[in-house]
Amino acid sequence: MKIGLLDVQGCVDLHIDHFQALGVKIQRVKQVKDLLECKGLVLPGGESTAMIKLIKEGGLWDPLKNYVNEKPVWGICAGCLLLAKKIQAGDQDSLGVLDVEMTKNGTGRQVKSIAGEISDYPVFYIRAPIITKVSKVAKIYAQKDKNPVWIVDKNIMVTTFHPELGHPRPSPIHHFFLNFLAGPL
């Protein structure tokens, strides 16, 4: 099995160690043909505006939108914003497939980044979006300050935090995504 990792911008390399620790092959997704080989896809954290620009310039926008409508996908931080139906931060574009509302950079500037724990594992909130509204069918797996930070809705999983920065490897969140690929939880 191969898991795709969108590789246009952002925190890509650290995820590879986590998935390799689980015995999973990674396909870096830079072109449309790369998507075809993947059972699931990770949209990493990074800078969402830059990601959108590079995705569109690379001809990935429409194929990516089709992919995330059908196959398992995990959006992390900026990857959450790429998936959200509504972003409360101007007119940023998104794939609009996840029935949530988010506030971009809701936790503040980068200097206000914080660490936390999910499932006794260290995670990091770096200019993280805040999920302000969630579909009634979405399952919330973790919250911080009464806001969801990890949700699953149908074929989409999102985390507003970065688990790839933590140790040891693999993170329980990467392990969860691998199980998520196997079918409904």
SS3 104: coil
Mean pLDDT, residues 1-12 taken together: 95
Q: What does the DSSP 8-state code read for residue 111?
A: G
Do 144 and 125 touch, CB atoms closer than 8 A?
yes
Task: Provide the domain limits for residue 79.
Answer: 2-182
Q: Which of 18, 38, 80, 164 is catalytic?
A: 164
E strands in 25-144: 25-29, 40-43, 73-76, 84-87, 98-103, 114-118, 121-125, 130-134, 139-144
State the Cα–Cα distance between residues 185 and 183, nearest whole angstrom: 6
**For residues 140-165, b (16+ Cβ closer than 10 Å) or e, as one string?**
ebbebeebbbbbbbebbbbbbbbbbe
Q: Which of 15, 18, 162, 174 is catalytic?
A: 162
Name 145's Cβ contacts closer than 8 Å, sequence gap at least 6.
Answer: none
Task: Tell me if residue 164 is catalytic.
Answer: yes
Task: Tell me if residue 77 is catalytic.
Answer: yes
The answer on pLDDT for 108 being more than 70 is: no
pTM metric for this prediction: 0.94
Q: What does the DSSP 8-state code read for residue 162?
A: B
Tell me the β-bridge partners of 62.
Answer: none
pLDDT confidence of residue 42: 98
Q: Which of 77, 101, 117, 167 is catalytic?
A: 77
**Range with the lowest mean pLDDT among 40-44, 72-76, 104-108?**
104-108
pLDDT confidence of residue 110: 61
Q: State the total domains in the chain.
A: 1
**Tokens at residue 158, please?**
């999102």
pLDDT confidence of residue 104: 75
CATH of the domain at 170: 3.40.50.880
pLDDT, tens digit, for every residue of 133-161?
A: 999 999 999 999 999 999 999 999 999 99
pLDDT range class, residue 184, cuts 50, 70, 90: low
Task: Tell me if residue 175 is catalytic.
Answer: no
The torsion angles phi and psi of 163, rounded to 5 degrees, stand at -85, -20
**Tokens at residue 22, please?**
């689980």
